[in-house]
Structure 1
Amino acid sequence: MTVLEKQTMEAVGAYFRANTRAHVDWDQRRYEIAKDCIVALMPTVVEQFKMASSSTKVGEAEKTCQQICISAVNMAVDFADSLVEKLKDSK
Structure 2
Amino acid sequence: MCSEPQHRAGVCPECKGVVLVTIRECTPARDAAVHGLLLLLILSTVAMAARFAGVSEDRINLVAQLIIPAGLAWLLLTGYYRAAEEGFFCRACGYSE
TM-score (norm 2): 0.45
Judging by fraction of residues, say which structure has more strand: 2
Q: TM-score, normalised by structure 1?
A: 0.47
